[in-house]
Amino acid sequence: MNKNTFIKNSQDLLAKLISSSSFNLEDKETFGIITEPYDLNDTRYQIYPFKKLTGYLPNPEKKDEPVLYTFYVLKADDDTKNIYINEVEKMKSKQDYNKEIIGSYYSNFVPSFKPFNELSYSLGKMLEEDFFTGKGYKFAFHLVTVTKDFDIALIYIQLNSLDQLEVKYPDETELEFKT
């Protein structure tokens, strides 16, 4: 299995899935809340951790073990989010819009931005040490994408599940990615 190709395919799949999904962040069975909002580059975010591991089968025909992942939803403060949505609506209706406002909404989540790296590292550690304690799970930041509701999702892949597929399919031709 070519791990880099597999990860790219996984990121594409999850970006499509999450970006077309709305999440009820008030559903206490599904989402938790980190009480203290987090400030990232002058924007305040409320962070909602998804409480479970979920997964997908990279090739349902083979009935493989799933690739497991979980995620956080970060909701920007209402003023920032509403300004952004207003510009997106202008863009969609082919009106003049402010590209800087749209770009700044995403600029906090660029992997080379040190405060984002610190946040994503801390959230990954929280998964291992607080939310899934004692399970032996290791998580790695997988991707950032926007949800259907224009919130930000940070997705973490559970590395053990990926490693199991790599052991099961060492030859990259043995596991064709189909979903």
Tokens of 62: 């083979």
Question: Is pLDDT above 90 for 14?
Answer: yes
Residue 41 confidence (pLDDT)? 86
**Beta strands 67-76 and 54-56, pairing class:** antiparallel
The per-residue pLDDT for range 51-95, each reduced to its tens digit, is 998 988 877 776 667 889 999 999 999 999 999 999 999 999 999
Question: Is pLDDT above 80 for 126?
Answer: yes
**pTM greater than the 0.85 cutoff:** yes
Neighbours of 125 (CB within 10 A): 11
